């Protein structure tokens, strides 16, 4: 048997095909990364120029801006729920309401909310349900005039997508922002998010995403991020770099060519009309944010209407990232399962000219390079082990190639960090920049292998039909300042 395995891998055709495959895959990915840097640079300059024509002060004083509802689902968020709701209530926007959806929490979330915000129970029978959801138990509104724009919906558990759909049903505004109850949103975030809707007149904005940042170990006071600090531990520290690179070089670049297929579930704005037309979020997948964005794009393609999905590069929403490897694996396991489900649900797009660039290029990219990358890395590891055992690896060349790839990765991360530091004022101290660079250079050794393991774990579950839901992410909570 061992001889047959050796003969199979050692045959000239298999060996050559394997090497050609990895070489071709790597070159294409490298070219896409370089294109991403160029497109992101152009997009940042364009965004800054456009921002000078429509200032936040002009928007806040306008009388014809769209009304906005912010929907925040919460499940067992008692540890941080009060600070998070205070943060969401502190947002500056003239026509704004907050709907917090308690998705059948089993902790003391509702008790804390009722006590802190002086909530009063109201009848829930009048809620119309254009999108079917789990049953609503009660609606709460505050007796305190400071919180007149707060509504709390207490419903039976149905999952995050179901909770978001409940809030969408109850909303009466033109635009809906979907977020999480554990997020800290910048006070002027909505004023910046509506800017693309006010500027664009040729193409309808069907989704707008804001930048997401990691705020572990930062200081929060009265629901507002008062002092942004880099995380103390390595896992969330590397996530800061990962988010900067992914949002700046990834989503910013794709947005420049209207190829954005994902708006983060932590902070995305949509026209309520379009959400109702497509039936809201799909509660049959744990990747509901990606699936919704693709379904919205498909819907607009079927209608034959021009549209855009846009991304704002500035970090407008701060969240608590996984604090350790165990929680990180659970998160990436879930993301991988969501990606698998979304690719499967929308397989009709694959090289389908009916859907133009989305079918011919954007969906295939996600399939080959987002979904396929962990599989290629795993297959590559198997090949390295097999070729090494059989003595077919030229180790000096292999080590040189490894360091070349490592340095290229460091270059892209360094470019993303300096583009971010130059454009925004979040991490400006030399010590912070050095720490970010060190985290970027350590990422391939202490972080990326864990990510691939989590992704492969998710694929394994889907391949063998192992049932698994959202999973539990234990949070430490933000550091709250009383002074």
Q: Could you read off the pLDDT of 70-126 as tens digits, one per residue? A: 999 999 988 888 888 988 998 888 888 999 999 999 999 999 999 999 999 988 766
Q: 324: how many CB neighbours lie within 10 A of its CB?
A: 13
What pairing do the DSSP bridges indicate for beta strands 184-185 and 267-271? Answer: unpaired
Q: Which residues pair with 88 in a beta bridge?
A: none
Closest CA to 159 of 476, 482, 470: 470
Work out the average pLDDT over 170-195. Answer: 90
Query: For residue 388, what pLDDT is reported?
Result: 86
CA distance 455 to 451: 6
Proportion of the chain in helix, strand, coil states, percent, rounded to 5: 55, 15, 30
| Cβ-based neighbour number of residue 79 at 10 Å | 18
Residue 476 pLDDT? 62
Residue 55 has pLDDT above 80, yes or no: no
Q: Please give the angle made by the CA atoms of 180, 182 and 184, to the nearest 5 degrees.
A: 95
Predicted confidence at residue 9, as pLDDT, reads 52
Give me 444's structure tokens: 């391939």
Residue 180: CB atoms within 10 A of its CB come to: 21
- Angstrom distances, CA of residue 418 to CA of 213, 218, 245, 427: 16, 21, 10, 10
pLDDT of the residue at 391: 82
Helices 12-53 and 2-10, packing angle to 10 deg:
60
155 falls in which pLDDT band (50, 70, 90)?
very high
Whole-angstrom CA distances from 182 to 103, 217, 475 are 14, 14, 9
> According to the model, what pLDDT value does residue 230 have?
95
Q: Which residues of 93-123 are buried (b: 16+ CB within 10 A; e: fewer)?
A: bebbbbbbbbbbbeeebbebbbeebebeeee
pLDDT at 477 over 80: no
Question: 159 CB contacts (<8 Å, ≥6 apart)?
Answer: 103, 283, 469, 470
Q: Say what the pLDDT of residue 200 is.
A: 67
Give CA separation, 448 vs 186, 214, 343, in Å.
30, 17, 23
Residue 172: pLDDT band by 50, 70, 90 thresholds? very high
Among 5-9, 96-100, 387-391, 425-429, the range scoring the smallest mean pLDDT is 5-9
pLDDT at 182 (0 to 100) = 79
């Amino acid at each position: 048997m061992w001889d047959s395995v050796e003969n199979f891998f050692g045959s000239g055709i298999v060996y050559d095909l394997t090497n050609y495959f990895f070489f071709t895959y790597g070159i294409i990915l490298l070219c896409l990364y370089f294109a991403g840097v160029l497109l992101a640079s152009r997009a940042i300059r364009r965004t800054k120029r456009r921002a000078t024509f429509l200032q936040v002060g002009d928007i806040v004083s306008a009388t014809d801006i769209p009304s906005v509802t912010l929907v925040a689902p919460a499940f067992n968020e008692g540890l941080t729920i009060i600070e998070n709701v205070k943060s969401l209530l502190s947002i500056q926007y003239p026509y704004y309401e907050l709907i917090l959806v308690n998705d059948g929490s089993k902790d003391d979330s509702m008790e804390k909310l009722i006590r802190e915000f002086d909530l009063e129970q109201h009848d829930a029978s009048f809620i119309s349900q254009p999108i079917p959801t789990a049953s609503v138990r009660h609606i709460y509104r505050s007796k305190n005039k400071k919180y007149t724009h707060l509504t709390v919906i207490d419903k039976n558990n149905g999952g995050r997508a179901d909770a978001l759909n409940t809030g969408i049903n109850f909303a009466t505004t033109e635009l809906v922002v979907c977020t999480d109850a554990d997020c800290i949103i910048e006070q002027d975030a909505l004023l910046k998010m509506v800017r693309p809707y006010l500027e664009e007149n040729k193409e309808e904005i069907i989704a707008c995403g804001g930048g997401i940042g990691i705020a572990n170990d930062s200081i929060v006071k009265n629901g507002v991020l008062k002092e942004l600090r880099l995380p103390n531990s390595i896992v969330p520290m590397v996530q800061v770099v990962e988010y900067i690179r992914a949002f700046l070089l990834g989503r910013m670049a794709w947005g420049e060519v209207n190829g954005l297929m994902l708006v983060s579930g932590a902070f995305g704005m949509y026209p309520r009309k379009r959400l109702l037309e497509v039936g809201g979020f799909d509660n049959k997948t744990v990747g509901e944010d990606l699936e919704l964005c693709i379904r919205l794009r498909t819907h607009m393609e079927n209608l034959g209407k021009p549209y855009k999905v846009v991304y704002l590069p500035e970090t407008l929403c701060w969240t608590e990232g996984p604090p350790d490897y165990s929680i990180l694996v659970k998160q990436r396991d879930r993301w991988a399962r969501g990606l698998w489900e979304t690719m499967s649900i929308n397989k009709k797009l694959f090289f389908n000219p009916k859907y133009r660039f989305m079918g011919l290029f954007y969906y295939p990219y996600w399939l080959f390079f987002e979904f396929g990358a962990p599989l290629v890395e795993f297959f590559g590891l198997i090949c390295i082990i097999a070729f090494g055992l059989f003595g077919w690896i030229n180790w000096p060349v292999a080590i040189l190639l490894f360091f070349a790839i490592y340095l290229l990765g460091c270059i892209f991360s360094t470019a993303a960090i300096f583009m971010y530091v130059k454009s925004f004022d979040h991490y400006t101290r030399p010590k912070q920049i050095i720490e970010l660079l060190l985290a970027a250079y350590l990422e391939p050794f202490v972080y990326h292998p864990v990510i691939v393991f989590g992704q492969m774990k998710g694929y394994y579950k889907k391949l063998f039909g192992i049932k698994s839901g959202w999973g539990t992410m234990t949070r430490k909570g933000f550091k709250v300042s009383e002074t």
